[in-house]
Every structure is written in structure tokens, then in C-alpha cells.
């Protein structure tokens, strides 16, 4: 239950609704307004389950990960969702005769148990790509993450994919040999069981982007990966081409319009809703953007600390800070935006691909380091920030950031990845073309395979 997982599932709901399939979405009270707005003017039904309140570690009213005071509470939060299972099953009992399958987020592992109890097919939604899933599986099988003689930043060749080199720092610490115990171990074990129980994976990717990895996965696993993305293209983004008066647009869109009229290019910077960035690192980002002399729009979470004294005044002619929730796709699609300084969350990568905006990769957590390798080394649509010690998890100083920002926006390497991005962007958009795109046809095949036994199809999304 986080925006980065909720939004693609809701995009999937829109795709299914366009095929005249009945959709029921399960959510919680605090998440209901966002979901109801996203599904407004559709026939989707929304069922609200009470979020468990008997969890002393989770503050009352926190029902999504972006509201957690620290991501160290993530595993406890996810484990707490288990208490919704009885209410979920009581509601599901009333729907079971007409439900063809349940699509559920991978962190809500208990949904697989409920689906098995009612004999309903279940598809696990993956918020990541086939590249990261295949690499993790490959290195774990070969024991590459538990070799004590290797430094954390020492590159290792992946036997199954010999053109790919990774290091231990590319993987979440959960998988790198550290002793797991307590909530992280319990949660990981339950999620792994849900993966083994599901009838397949709904993957937010497209076949042409990672065909070798998709084929590898589907020939070696009983659960098929169904690539139905980029899901960010599913809902028509009416607000991208705005007809309303200038004064009614959000302030950041008005600012981008002004830069476009000036003929100026803009770097968009955003690091997602979950990355925890130190005050020291925030100051280096601010100083690096200031010294780069490029125009920039930087989205910062409200709970992050203030920037250095006088920063906003010094950059006011060419920089803007936004602390509100933004439509990221709308920003990336703006004609003034020519670069994206990104944490490489998979949703952000896909949105950048669809908009044709090259990436300056700065991964911070989860599978983002693998996404960064994919962006820079595999599909070659981005560059990477320079850390002060060369480690992929190292501190980034203003000098290294300034250098790579200027390279992306003005340099020769930036021009090269910009051209490559045009090619990949074209593939991404074609994959979602109605009736003919590979992802569109894959979703049709998925529906036909799972729903063929019933005339009236209903899907539950959790």
C-alpha cells in the first residue's frame, strides 16, 4: 500500500474496464479518496476494509508507506496488513461466484492464501521488471551474494547473462548475506511463499524492452510473467494538453510554460516518496544544481528538511522547488523537460521512457540499483551520477553532481542517450497501442486464458 504500487494497479484497472470487465477494488479508509478520484467516471466498485488499529508500532491513521515516519517500519507495516484478511474474506465470500481472478500486490502476501481458500485464480502484481527479478534469481542460485572474498563493489559476471556484471551493492541488503531475523525475515518468507503460490505475475514492462529476460523467466518458471505495460500509458492523461487558462494551471506547469517560451531546457529532479535523504546530501544536491547553471524543477517531500539559507533566492530565475503531490507524467511530457535526475524507481523509469526524457540515474534503495544498471548499461538511455568514492551506494558531492547534470543536459554523452531514448520511447508507446501493441495483446491473452470459463468476467484488485 504505497502510491508507487497503487497507481499502476489502478492503471491496470482502467485497461480492464476498457475491455468491459467488471472490477472490484479493495482498499482502506485513508486510501479511499485517492482511489475514488482515480476511478471516477468508471464502473469500478470500491470496497473499503478497516485498517487494523491494534499495532503499537504503526501510528494511527497511517495506511500507506509514504506516511511512515521511517522506512525501517516497512516490514512491520506490511505484516500488520494481515489483520485485514478476515474482513477481506467475508467480503470476498459475497463475490466469489462471479470472480474470475484476483490481482494483488506482492507485499500483501495473505491475499494468495484467501484466493486459494476460495479456489480463485490469483495473479501477483510485480512493481519491478524482469531484469531485476532474473538477476536476483540468478545470483542467488550461484551464491554470488555470499562470497566473503569479494568486496561489495567488486563486479561479478552473471553466469546466465555473461554480458551483465553486477556487485553486491546492487542488491538490497536483505539478500547480501546479512543475518536476517525478526520482522524482515518473517515478511520476506511470507512474500516468497505468496510468489510460489500465485498463478502468474502481472509485470509492468513490455516485451521489446527486455525480451531475453522475459523468455528466460518464462522458460524456467511455472508462473509466467505477463508483460502488460507501460501501465502509465493506460489512462488517458487529459491534463497533459491543457486547454484551461494559464492562471488555472499548477504553478510548476506555469513555470515550465515560461521556460518553454524562453526556449530553455529544464532538468526535472525527483527521488520518489520513500527514499530517505540526509540533510547533508540534500545540501549537496542543492549546491550541485545551483552550480550547474541549468534550469531545474525539483520535487521534494514535505517532511524533508529545508535547504540552505538563501538558496531559493539565488536560483529563483532558473529553479523551482515543489513540495506538493505532482502528476509526474505531466511534467515529463512537458516539452521544456529534457532530463530527469531520478532514483530509478521502476515507475519513474517507465514514465521517462514513455515521455522520451533521458535519465541521470541515482539509485537509493530496493531494486533501484539494478534498474540503474539496466537504464545505463543495458538499454543505454541514461547516465549515472558520480559518487565520491566510486561505490554505487556512495555519497554524492556537488562537484560530481554538477559534472553529470551538465553532461546529461549539454554534453556529448547526453546527446547520445537522448537519441537512444527516442528509439526506446517509440517502442514503449507502440507496445500499448490498442489492438496491435505487444502489451495490449498480452493482456488479451491473459484474460482469455483465465476468464474463458465464464461469460461475465469480474476481477478483484487488492
Q: Cα–Cα distance between 101 and 87 in angstroms, integer?
A: 18
Q: Cell for 315?
A: 536560483
CA angle 411, 296, 64 (to 5 degrees): 120
Would you give the DSSP letter of residue 456? S
Question: In the prediction, which pLDDT does 461 show?
Answer: 80
State percent of the chain over pLDDT 90.
72
Mean pLDDT across the stretch 158-175?
92
Residue 13, SS3 per DSSP: helix
Other CB atoms closer than 10 Å to residue 285's CB: what's the count? 21
Band (pLDDT 50/70/90 cuts) for residue 231 is: very high
More confident residue, 54 or 337: 337
Mean pLDDT across the stretch 72-77?
90
* Residues 6+ away with beta carbon under 8 Å from 181: none
CA distances from 148 to 154, 170, 369 (A): 11, 16, 21
Evaluate if pTM is beyond 0.85.
yes
Class of domain 3-235+433-461: alpha beta
CA atoms within a 13 Å half-sphere pointing along the CA-CB vector of 30: 15
Q: Is the pLDDT of residue 36 over 70?
A: yes
**Please, is 306 exposed, middle or buried when counting C-beta atoms within 10 Å of its C-beta (0-12, 13-18, 19+)?**
exposed
Q: Is the pLDDT of residue 109 over 70?
A: yes
Q: Where are the domains of the chain?
A: 3-235+433-461, 246-427
Q: Cα–Cα distance between 433 and 441 in angstroms, integer?
A: 9
Question: In the prediction, which pLDDT does 240 show?
Answer: 46
Which helix H or strand E contains 406, and what residues bound it?
A: helix 398-410
C-alpha 150, offset from chain centre = 30
Question: In the prediction, which pLDDT does 158 show?
Answer: 95
pLDDT in tens, 243-262: 556 667 889 999 999 999 99
Mean pLDDT across the stretch 190-194?
91
**Which of these CATH numbers, 1.20.120.640, 3.40.50.1980, 3.20.20.80, 3.40.50.2000, describes 246-427?**
3.40.50.2000
Q: Where are the alpha helices (DSSP H) in 199-316?
A: 211-220, 251-262, 279-292, 311-315
Mean pLDDT across the stretch 322-326?
89
Question: In the prediction, which pLDDT does 3 show?
Answer: 87
387 contacts 362 by C-beta, under 8 angstroms:
no
Grid cell 553529470 is found at 404
CA atoms within a 13 Å half-sphere pointing along the CA-CB vector of 231: 29
Mean pLDDT across the stretch 122-150?
89
Question: In the prediction, which pLDDT does 331 show?
Answer: 96
Pick the closest to residue 429 from 202, 217, 237, 214 (CA basis).
237
32 contacts 48 by C-beta, under 8 angstroms:
yes
Question: In the prediction, which pLDDT does 462 show?
Answer: 78
pLDDT in tens, 331-374: 999 999 999 999 999 999 999 999 999 999 999 988 999 999 99
Question: What number of residues does the chain have?
Answer: 462
Note whether 3-235+433-461 and 246-427 share their fold.
yes
DSSP conformation letters of 325-378: ---HHHHHHSTTEEEEEE---HHHHHHHHHHT--EEE---STTHHHHHHIIIII
Q: Is the pLDDT of residue 297 over 80?
A: yes
CA distances from 155 to 84, 95, 166 (A): 43, 51, 5
State percent of the chain over pLDDT 70.
94
Residue 362, phi then psi, degrees to nearest 5: -140, 75
Band (pLDDT 50/70/90 cuts) for residue 239 is: very low
Question: In the prediction, which pLDDT does 237 show?
Answer: 40
Mean pLDDT across the stretch 194-209?
95
Residue 422, SS3 per DSSP: helix
Band (pLDDT 50/70/90 cuts) for residue 61 is: confident
Q: Is the pLDDT of residue 236 over 70?
A: no
Amino acid at each position: 500500500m504505497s502510491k508507487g504500487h497503487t497507481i499502476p494497479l489502478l492503471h491496470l484497472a482502467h485497461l480492464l474496464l476498457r475491455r468491459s470487465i467488471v472490477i472490484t477494488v479493495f482498499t482502506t479508509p485513508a486510501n479511499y479518496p485517492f482511489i475514488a478520484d482515480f476511478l471516477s467516471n468508471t464502473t469500478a466498485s470500491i470496497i473499503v476494509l478497516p485498517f487494523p488499529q491494534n499495532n503499537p508500532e504503526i501510528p494511527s491513521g497511517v495506511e500507506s508507506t509514504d506516511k511512515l515516519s521511517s522506512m525501517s517500519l516497512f516490514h512491520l507495516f506490511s505484516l500488520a496488513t494481515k489483520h485485514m484478511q478476515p474482513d477481506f474474506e467475508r467480503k470476498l465470500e459475497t463475490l466469489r461466484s462471479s470472480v474470475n481472478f484476483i490481482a494483488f500486490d506482492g507485499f500483501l502476501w495473505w491475499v494468495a492464501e484467501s484466493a486459494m481458500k476460495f479456489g480463485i485464480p490469483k495473479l501477483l502484481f510485480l512493481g519491478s521488471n524482469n531484469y531485476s527479478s532474473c538477476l536476483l534469481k540468478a545470483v542467488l542460485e550461484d551464491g554470488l551474494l555470499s562470497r566473503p572474498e569479494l568486496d561489495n563493489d567488486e563486479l561479478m559476471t552473471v553466469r546466465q547473462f555473461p554480458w551483465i556484471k553486477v556487485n553486491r551493492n546492487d542488491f538490497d541488503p536483505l539478500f547480501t548475506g546479512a543475518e536476517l531475523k525478526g520482522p524482515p525475515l518473517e515478511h520476506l518468507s511470507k512474500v516468497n511463499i505468496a510468489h510460489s503460490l500465485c498463478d502468474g505475475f502481472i509485470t509492468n514492462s513490455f516485451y521489446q524492452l527486455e525480451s531475453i529476460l522475459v523468455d528466460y523467466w518464462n522458460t524456467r518458471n511455472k508462473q509466467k510473467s505477463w508483460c502488460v505495460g507501460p501501465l502509465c500509458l493506460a489512462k488517458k492523461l487529459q491534463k497533459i494538453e491543457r486547454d484551461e487558462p494559464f492562471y488555472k494551471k499548477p504553478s510548476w506547469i506555469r513555470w515550465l510554460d515560461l521556460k518553454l517560451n524562453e526556449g530553455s531546457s529544464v532538468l526535472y529532479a525527483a527521488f520518489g516518496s520513500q527514499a530517505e535523504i540526509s540533510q547533508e546530501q540534500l545540501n549537496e544536491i542543492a549546491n550541485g544544481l545551483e552550480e550547474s547553471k541549468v534550469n531545474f524543477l525539483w520535487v521534494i517531500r514535505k517532511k524533508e528538511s529545508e535547504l540552505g539559507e538563501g538558496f531559493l533566492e539565488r536560483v529563483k530565475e532558473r529553479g523551482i522547488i515543489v513540495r506538493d503531490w505532482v502528476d509526474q507524467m505531466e511534467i515529463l511530457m512537458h516539452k521544456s523537460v529534457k532530463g530527469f535526475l531520478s532514483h530509478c524507481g521502476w515507475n519513474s523509469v517507465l514514465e521517462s521512457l514513455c515521455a522520451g526524457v533521458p535519465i541521470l540515474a541515482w539509485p537509493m534503495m530496493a531494486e533501484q540499483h539494478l534498474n540503474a544498471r539496466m537504464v545505463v548499461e543495458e538499454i543505454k538511455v541514461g547516465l549515472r551520477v558520480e559518487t565520491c568514492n566510486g561505490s554505487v551506494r556512495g555519497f554524492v558531492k556537488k562537484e560530481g553532481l554538477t559534472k553529470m547534470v551538465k553532461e546529461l543536459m549539454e554534453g556529448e554523452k547526453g546527446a547520445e542517450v537522448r537519441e537512444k531514448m527516442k528509439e526506446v520511447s517509440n517502442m514503449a508507446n507502440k507496445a500499448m497501442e490498442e489492438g496491435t501493441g505487444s502489451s495490449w495483446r498480452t493482456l488479451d491473452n491473459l484474460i482469455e486464458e483465465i476468464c474463458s470459463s465464464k461469460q461475465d468476467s469480474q476481477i478483484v484488485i487488492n
